Structure 1
Amino acid sequence: MDILAFGVQADEKPLLEQAFRGHHDLRCLDVFLNEDTVPIAAGHEVISTSVNCDLGPGVLEALAAGGTRMTAQRSTGFNNIALHVAERLGLTVARVSYYSPHAVAEFAWTLAMAVNRRVVRASTRTRDFDFRLDGLMGRDLHGRTAGVLGTGKIGEAFTRIAHGFGMRLLGWDVAENPACLDLGMTYVPKERLLAESDLISLHVPLVPGTRHLIDAAALKAMKDDAILVNSSRGGLVDTAALVTELRAGRFTGVGLDVYEAEAGLFFLDKSLEAIADDTLARLVTFPNVLVTSHQAYYTVDAVGQIVDTTVRNVLDYTAGRRSGNVLVPRS
């Protein structure tokens, strides 16, 4: 069987090709699946997609019309897939339900430390042989409060690191994680967590109930000198409201690895183009904001697990098996 993989990064390509070798023929594309590129998939029973591919109703209709019967998403998140349409069309959809939580948790801490200790500004200065310390003062995190919104596997890994820093731990989730409780975490209402935390990190999935979890009211409830980190999904934060608060001079730092309108931008080289997204263009101008391009998961360990699971998902499909990774089963 010939499999077509969309949105494959250069570092990811050899891992995918090696993993599929001996099973199925694989063709990797660096372009993302969307309404413009979906004709390329015609004749391929199985495709693989990344989180920034568009699998909305129109794309799924075109895939089904072209003979596609299964898509293997190379991510845990699946908010880019219209699952109800896939089910109606008889398209099997699988995802990667688990990969290293440490990859994302560690990168969230990378963002937090970078904005707290002004690492990007310091690096830029020293490249120009400017070795002044003016404006580079950070804060000890030891003894301060970390607020973790979402305490699943990634949130737990983030909490363990916060515990190592000697921080007071506050958590918010629909269910308490016993491992986090053992670390000394206190679960509190979201409003209290926002008001008391010096560092807030988001680790919840993007579903209708969590879209703009951090909205204008939530941002106003946070401390003026708080640090906000989002390495989960861009839609969790109302970015326009965040820009308004930043313009008012609030927050010690904001670290964002995701952005709610990142599709069509992230994973692509836009350096020679004018960016039409005024909100993003304004966001990256703030000296206390660090934006990265959805790379928290991007370690050889996590990507290796993602690739291996993707291969298993395809093999399960061809063998008629069903696993816990299946979002829409084979009809």
Structure 2
Amino acid sequence: MTMIQALRSAMDVMLARDPDVVVFGQDVGYFGGVFRCTDGLQAKYGSQRVFDAPISEGGIVGVAVGMGAYGLRPVAEIQFADYFYPASDQIVSEAARLRYRSAGDFTAPLTIRMPCGGGIYGGQTHSQSPEALFTHVCGLRTVMPSNPYDAKGLLIAAIECNDPVIFLEPKRLYNGPFDGHHDRPATPWTGHPKAQVPEGYYTLPLDKATVYRPGQQLTVLAYGTMVYVAEAAAKETGLDAEIIDLRALWPLDISTVVESVKKTGRCVIVHEATRTSGFGAELSALVQEHCFYHLEAPIERVAGWDTPYPHAQEWDYFPGPARVAAALRRVMES
């Protein structure tokens, strides 16, 4: 399966399995979503369970919070992650706090799907990576898969979770793995080990990272599209880099991170979002706190520029293999 197909399969499985699951958002019903992730689901399950919403992100999330408190399990789509800002009050002040403020009497078992990141020449309002904003909010879970197998297992787990889950989907990975050099998938997912996706039900934990590429010389922390960029950089340098795919950004699997960095003694952090106050800053602080006496070189961060998203210079803005490779060499030479 491609990632699009895997996400659709996850929603299909849960719609069939649980009558309380509903899917809605802009264009997700009859049209099947702007990226076709929900294609065919309304025809299969009807317009009471898969339906379109007005262009009102605050309304979409507000309704989802109410549905969750009532006992449903809504899967709401924000068409692009850039558009979540009108719904920020509903996400932060309502969804994230409902369990705590009601002393557990109510929960918000809702999943908010958001295509994120650049690579489609979408400009400033269709290309952002706002994951750090969500990880800062107590009460939210934040997930970003890098491959179809993880995407399906994590989405099913998110739908079943009693906490609100921000489910970020890198658009560049929708149709295939990405090597960091081109604006289209390097190869189709078919045959890729992470693309062998079971048809039925399975889940993955929402708080566990995975070792994408074992190594001994240094640790690279990445997620989403940057997993493949890190892999390309490691191959370019010939270094024995261990790549950790975080998958779930918060809660963070700090034990897997610490185990790797203590083993290698070096750490490079890669993310597409803006550098300043990006999630890499939190990762850097945590690695320093937990692994200080094991570090043999300063921690490196490779990220997007500190600038509004540059449409014309999109592929220079992204951390590419060359920038990541330079950081890998620096930590080895320190």
TM-score, scaled relative to structure 1: 0.29
Higher RCO (CA < 8 A, seq sep 6+): 1
- Could you state the TM-score of these two structures normalised by the residue count of structure 2? 0.29
Could you say which structure has the larger radius of gyration? 1
